[in-house]
Chains A and B, each alone.
Chain A
Amino acid sequence: MEDKKVMLEVNDLQTTFFTDSGDIPAVDHVSFHVHDGEVLGIVGESGCGKSVTSLSIMGLVPNPPGKVVGGDIHFEDKNLLDLSEREMRKVRGNDIAMIFQEPMTSLNPLFTIGHQMMEAVLIHHKKKGKQYAKDRCIEMLELVELPRAKDLMDEYPHQLSGGMRQRVMIAMALICDPKVLIADEPTTALDVTTQSQILKLIKELNDRLNTALLLITHDLGVVAKTCERVIVMYSGQVIEEAPVDKLFDSPKHPYTQGLIQSVPDVRKKQDRLYSIEGNVPLPGSIHKGCRFADRCKFAFDRCFNENPEFYQTSDVQKARCFLYDKEGAVEHDKALTRS
């Protein structure tokens, strides 16, 4: 895998929202990378910063109140954070495209599908003309397996079902051959049977077009089905990074372990679900020490005082937990025996 080219690299990204009730570090020193043609999953519960991370990459964090205050985002040979709005506009939708959760709200109800799709092509490839744009749109609609592609061009979003709208969104995102595609909860608003159609499509397109895909989701089932590598976020930080099979076979961080165990499995009936105590922290409720410490059953003194580093637990897996600090080995042995 190492010989693959890194398409997008995020280093030490910090995005903070400056509000009247204080500064909220929604994304707190987040680093990760995506290879060429890879599917990287970002999982986490609400408020963990997964969506703000994607908006930061696209330069779409609402400002004010939000601002990227540190770190860098390398794409090709550029740092996206250094680009002017004008230069960024050339990247957005062209090199890096995004699919949003709500297919109902991200299409303009007043314009036809064709009009909205052609807009993207005409902005980035003005010289090629309208006929080219139109042909390209029809080609893309066929690529996402929509029937009657030609007629669809003249239809309005309300005439389509949720699944069809999401296909249109995918077609639109892929129309300029992006090198990186960010999909933010692309199937959350859809029914299971439609979800499985869309996931299958996304996976096929990823294989065929070799686009690097960043899939943001809260659903571990979707992750297991689609992703190759996964990062888990909690309260603005990346707390675990692993290839997908390692993440499910031997999750290292106590939060990841708890999360995987709390999902009810359709294949077998359990008497009782495992549940993590306490609540998902509100963004901005930052205290000293590990963010997960007060919900963690392995927590010991050090967890409440110091912020753990991102420890390498094997050559491919990392976890932000003192249990994997070799020097702290004595303490966590104590913690393990206590629990």
Chain B
Amino acid sequence: MTKHLLEVDGLKKHFPIKKGLFGKTVGAVKAVNDVSFYVKEGETLGIVGESGCGKSTTGRSLVRLLEPTEGKVSFDGQDITKFSANDMRKVRRNIQMVFQDPYASLNPRHTIEKILAEPLIVHGMKDAKKRKEKIYEFLEIVGLNAFHAKRYPHQFSGGQRQRIGIARALMTNPKLIIADEPVSALDVSIQAQVLNLMQDLQKEFNLTYIFIAHDLGVVRHISDRIAVMYLGKIVEITDSNELHQNPMHPYTQALLSAVPIPDPHHDENEVVLEGDMPSPANPPTGCAFHTRCPFKMDVCTKAVPELKEQKPGHFAACHLYNGTNSNDI
């Protein structure tokens, strides 16, 4: 069995809601509410969900760009939630992030060379000549050229900027890359190029990815396993093919059926959900999905369903599968 590179146990991130003159805390937005999962070395774990489900907050809490409220994150066997800022910096060398907006995540006043040199300087590569060599090497690897190093971010197209973002993440030879919506700002034809590049790099450098996105087609394409989030919780997590062929949670079923298929002959059998996602500041009691669930039962409004292994390797948090062994609804 391959080892678990990252293990997350009971991760919570609550943002306090403050009100009044003295900033009294009157509540909390439970952006991530008790999330546990693991990532195996060399695999890609996709995290999908709609806006506000907590997928990005999860990604940021893992590297402590946002300080988790509760829970444990172990990377390579070490609990990194208790690390000092200094130790954390050393860990971040192995965990890098790629962000959504290639326009906003590159400093417009720095040349590409400077942008790419920064992680090397931070992590102690003092020799300027070596740095330069490495920068040129990685520019080639992500499909750009050495002469691009002297240019500024605005001289690149969106797809090229995302390549630079990826090159920057690779500079420190990380083991894990957390990519937060890396292709959602790109055009379809460019999106395919960047996805292919990420797959090639994964093979070449033996990378592990956490791929956060809202587009199920993209996530399916790149992921080995997929976690589906709804209102701060993981509602289902399993192998990518299994999730698509045999989704268990009613939310996953609805989400999958809502994706418009680029084929006019596609036989539509859509579950259209009613209403909107409730506010994470005031989540419904019991199962958070019960307000929109077509299979709602009495128990759903009262008890929070646990994420249980319903079949080998297939976890779902739904009362429909608790106590009974039937897999069909």
By a beta-carbon cutoff of 8 Å, the part of chain A in contact with chain B is 45-46, 161-164, 191-197, 199-200, 218-225, 244-245, 248, 258-260, 262-267, 269-270, 272-277, 279-280, 282
**Can you name the residue of chain B whose Cβ is closest to the Cβ of A160?**
B276
Interface centre among B214, B256, B261 (most CB of A within 10 A): B261
Chain B's nearest CB lies how many Å from the CB of A228?
A: 9
Q: Across the interface, do B187 and A45 meet the contact criterion of CB distance under 8 Å?
A: yes
Of A221, A222, A280, which is within 8 A of B187 by CB?
Answer: A280
Q: Select which of B217, B264, B272 is within 8 A of A264 by beta carbon.
A: B217
Query: Which residue of B160, B187, B199, B255 contacts A192 across the interface (Cβ within 8 Å)?
Result: B255
A192 and B189 within 8 A (CB): no
Interface check B25, CB cutoff 8 A: no
B188 touches A266 (CB 8 A): no
Contact across chains for B193 and A275 when beta carbons are under 8 A apart: yes
A252 CA to B61 CA in the complex, in Å? Answer: 47
Contact residues of B between 263 and 295, Cβ < 8 Å to A: 263-266, 268, 270, 272-273, 276-277
Contact partner of B276 (CB less than 8 A), chosen from A45, A161, A199, A276, is A161
Instruction: List the B side residues contacting A259 at CB < 8 Å.
Output: 188-189
Instruction: Please pick, from A219, A222, A269, the residue contacting B221 in the complex, using a CB distance under 8 A.
Output: A269
Contact residues in A for B195 (Cβ distance below 8 Å): 264, 273
Using A192-B258, A195-B260, A279-B160 as known contacts, say yes or no to A264 and B218 having CB atoms under 8 A apart. Answer: yes
CB distance from B56 to the nearest CB of A (A): 14
- Contact flags B159-197 to A (C-beta < 8 A → 1, else 0): 110000000000000000000000000011111110110
In the assembled complex, the Cα of A266 lies from the Cα of B196 at a distance in Å of 16
Across the interface, do B264 and A279 meet the contact criterion of CB distance under 8 Å?
Answer: no
Chain B residues with Cβ below 8 Å from A264 are: 192, 195, 215, 217-218, 220-221
Which B residues are within 8 Å of any A CB, using their own CB?
Answer: 50-51, 157, 159-160, 187-193, 195-196, 199, 214-218, 220-221, 240-241, 244, 254-266, 268, 270, 272-273, 276-277
Tell whether, in the assembled complex, residue A269 and residue B241 are in contact, meaning their CB atoms are under 8 Å apart. yes
- Chain A neighbourhood of B241, CB < 8 A: 269
Nearest Cβ on chain B to A90's Cβ, whole angstroms: 36
Chain B nearest Cβ from A30, distance in angstroms: 20
Identify which of A224, A245, A269, A282 contacts B220 (C-beta below 8 A): A269
Residue of A whose beta carbon sits closest to that of B292:
A193
Complex: A10 Cα to B159 Cα, angstroms: 33
Known: A224-B263, A245-B264, A269-B220. A192 touches B50 (CB 8 A): yes
- Contact, CB under 8 Å: A262 / B191: yes
What are the residues of chain A within 8 A of B50 when measuring CB–CB? 191-194
With contact pairs A264-B221, A279-B157 given, residues A225 and B260 touching in the complex (Cβ less than 8 Å): yes
CB distance from A303 to the nearest CB of B (A): 18
Check A197 against B273 for contact (C-beta < 8 Å).
yes
Q: Are B259 and A192 in contact (CB under 8 A)?
A: yes
B149 to chain A, nearest CB (A): 19
Q: Is the CB of B265 within 8 A of A245?
A: yes
Query: Pick the contact of A195 from B188, B221, B258 — CB < 8 Å?
Result: B258
When distances are taken between beta carbons in the complex, the residues of chain A under 8 Å from B262 are 220-221, 223-224, 248, 260, 263, 265
Among B188, B276, B277, max chain A CB count under 10 A is at B188
Given A192-B258, A196-B258, A224-B51 contact (CB < 8 Å): no
**Is the Cβ of B266 less than 8 Å from the Cβ of A266?**
no
- Report how far A275 CA is from B160 CA in the complex, Å: 15
Q: Which residues of B contact A161 (CB under 8 A)?
A: 276
Q: Please report the C-alpha to C-alpha distance between residue A266 and residue B270 in the assembled complex, in whole angstroms.
A: 14
Beta-carbon contact of A276 and B189 below 8 Å: yes
- Which B residues lie within 8 Å of A220 (CB)? 188, 262
Tell me the complex Cα distance, A295–B218, Å.
23
Q: What is the distance, in angstroms, from A94's C-beta to the closest C-beta of chain B?
A: 31
* A273-B189 CB under 8 A given contacts A164-B276, A192-B50: no
Question: Are the CB atoms of B189 and A45 closer together than 8 Å?
Answer: yes
- Which residues of chain B have C-beta atoms less than 8 A from A164's C-beta? 276
Chain A residues, CB < 8 A from B276: 161-164, 194
Known: A164-B276, A273-B192. 6 other contacts (CB 8 A): A200-B272, A224-B261, A258-B189, A264-B215, A266-B220, A270-B221
Knowing A195-B258, A222-B260, A225-B260 are in contact, say whether A266-B51 is a contact too (CB < 8 A). no
Q: A225-B260, A273-B195 are in contact. Are A218 and B216 (CB under 8 A)?
A: no
| Complex CA distance for A264 and B257, rounded to whole angstroms | 15
Q: Assess whether B261 is in contact with A269, with CB atoms less than 8 Å apart.
A: no
- A163–B272 Cα distance when bound, in Å, is 13
B188 touches A192 (CB 8 A): no
Chain A residues within 8 Å of B263, by CB = 224, 248
